[in-house]
Structure 1
Amino acid sequence: MSRTAGGRTHPIRLLALLCAAATGLALTAGCSSGEGPGEAAGGVPVVEKGKLTTCTHLPYPPFQFEQGGKVVGFDVALVDLVAKDLEVEQKILDTPFENFKTGAFLNSGECDLAAAGMTITDERKKNVDFSVPYFDATQALLATRKSGITTLADVEAKGAKLGAQAGTTGESHAKSEGFDPVAFESSDAVLNGLRTGQVDAVVIDYPVVQGWLKDKDNADAFVLGQNIETGEQYGFSVKKGNDALRAAIDKAIRDAKADGTYDKLYRQWIGPLPEGRS
């Protein structure tokens, strides 16, 4: 997926503004500990000594979301592996997604990497360097049960309202199919749009839909329609030319896939492994 720039203030972000001594995976809002830049294991430069600072955009379950005062999820767990290899702690900043596409927070030295369920695209490669792909993604159509919609063709035939998250590949796909989807700033807003009848169906990343449908109320109200294969792959991004960190990320991903850790985390955060990998 490619996600949106969002201006919504997350509740935990407000707490972070106090700049209390945030540690571990507690979310901060750009507060500096005053430690300054440093080096991680292997001479990998980091923007804050003893930390691997990750920019993300919340919420986007199951990849990153707040739970019990901490940010957790599939992306978070994978970056934790990188941090462990580098002998530092992961620190997470909740930032506008638009900056991920431009590399702004990486270039300004606020973050070491960006992890946000972000699709690797040629356009984005102009601004940032990507890790090896860590997730094969696809889009899905989710509709209200009362709409009777299961395909994009149904949306057109019924003259129904289609929604998507702004700035995402889901939105781009809908537009490529001739739709003018209602744009929502976050995945939460997309779901709320369905709940409140602002739209009848939405196109969004399939893993996100899987997560929503684990909730009984959502499963009762909505129906999963067609899967839309777009050939998307997610990657973590670093500042252009930061080859040392990119190599460390690539190594952590490959090691996790080789030793079974990746599959374990996939089952924990995403669900059953794709066919042929179980």
Structure 2
Amino acid sequence: MPRRRNLLFGLALAATATLALSGCASGGGDAGGDDAPAGEDYGLIEAGTLTVCSDIPYKPFEFEDPNSETGYSGFDIDLLGAVAEKLDLELAVQDVGFDALQSGTILAAGQCDVGASAMTITEERQANIDFADSYYDSLQSLLVRADSGIKSIEDLDGKTVGVQQGTTGEAYTKENATGAEVVSYPSDGELWPALQAGNIDAILQDQPVNIEHEKADSAYKIVEEYDTDESYGWAFAKGERAELIEAVNEALQELRDDGTYQEIYDSYFAAE
């Protein structure tokens, strides 16, 4: 009997060792192994997907496109799509309000991984959100009816100027449009129709967006541009996404180096 017990005990030990070795080889347990979903190290909201929040429409940076896989296109969307591809991730887009995005509220709440909405990098915003490297340099501009008689910002005294809430265009208008009534709108989706309806006399906002309106309707024109030394950046929750920001910056640089960035840029801005 003792001999049989020793034999059974030995077989049990061998079986235990085999199972332990099998577990190590398969990468099970807390170690994770090499079969983790793409993007897991970035702390993404959904593994394998880069979720983007953007204020839409803001053509040419973001606008609805039923022919796109995400339902949206634009310089921001296409460029981030190329970044996601570099990182072996899918791209998903959510339409949100700009003010909540630029304040960092939506990012802090974990609604999305990155904010991409033609957002200027400013010291004030950097107090609440982190930015990746800048990807676009922009100007502000003044759009009016061609027959309005308005030729510059000095002619806005007594006029009503529309701006987008929470933007650098709003800040610039309040500082420089002396005597004008400044009316803030949630997005360009309300701003542009207000000008067409005659509810405001002018729009002061990012030059590329006003260029799109100028192209769409010859009754309107840009009469003045303002060099405000603005650069756009993609936004992230403050202090929470260092690895993702680093990966996005590396991918963006690769896109610049291989010519993809320039191709996407030219598809939207070559005419400028």
Aligned to 1:17: none
* Residue 268 of structure 1: aligned partner: 267
Query: Gaps spanning 5+ residues in structure 2: where?
Result: 1-35
Between Structure 1 and Structure 2, the one with more helix by share is 2
Equivalent in the alignment of 1:25: none
Name which of structure 1's ranges 118-127 and 256-265 shifts more when overlaid on structure 2: 256-265
Q: What is the number of equivalent residue pairs in this alignment? A: 231
For the residue of structure 2 that corresponds to 1:188, the secondary structure is helix
In 1, the alpha carbon distance for the partners of 2:271 and 2:252 equals 19
> 5 Å matches for 1:102-121?
102-121=103-122
Shift in Å at residue 41 of structure 1? Answer: 4.7
Name the TM-score, length of structure 1 as normaliser.
Answer: 0.78
Between 233-242 and 250-259, the greater mean CA deviation after superposition = 250-259
Aligned letter for 1:173? Y
- Percent identity reads 35
Looking at structure 2, the residues matched to 42 and 259 of structure 1 have their Cα atoms a distance apart, in angstroms, of 26
String of CA shifts for 1:214-273, please: whole Å, max 9, x gaps: 22xx12x11211111111110001122311110111112222222221111111123346
Aligned runs of 1:127-138 on 2, under 5 Å? 127-138=128-139
**Does 2:57 correspond to 1:56?**
no
Deviation by residue 1:43-82 (Cα, 9 ceiling, x = unmatched)? 3221102211111111111111102261100000111122
Query: Could you tell me how far apart the structure 2 residues matched to 1:150 and 1:188 are?
Result: 25
TM-score of the superposed pair, with normalisation by structure 2 = 0.80
Q: Which has the larger radius of gyration?
A: 2
1:230 to 1:103, Cα distance in 2 relative to 1, 3 A: same
Q: How far apart are 1:105 and its partner, in Å?
A: 2.4
Partner of 1:40 in structure 2? 38
Partner of 2:77: 76
Equivalent residues in 2 for 1:232-247, closer than 5 Å: 232-241=230-239, 242-247=241-246
Shift of 1:180: 3.3
Moved over 6 A (4+): none
Gaps of 5+ in 1: 1-37, 274-278
- CA contact 1:40–1:46 (8 Å) conserved in 2: no
Cα RMSD (Å): 1.7
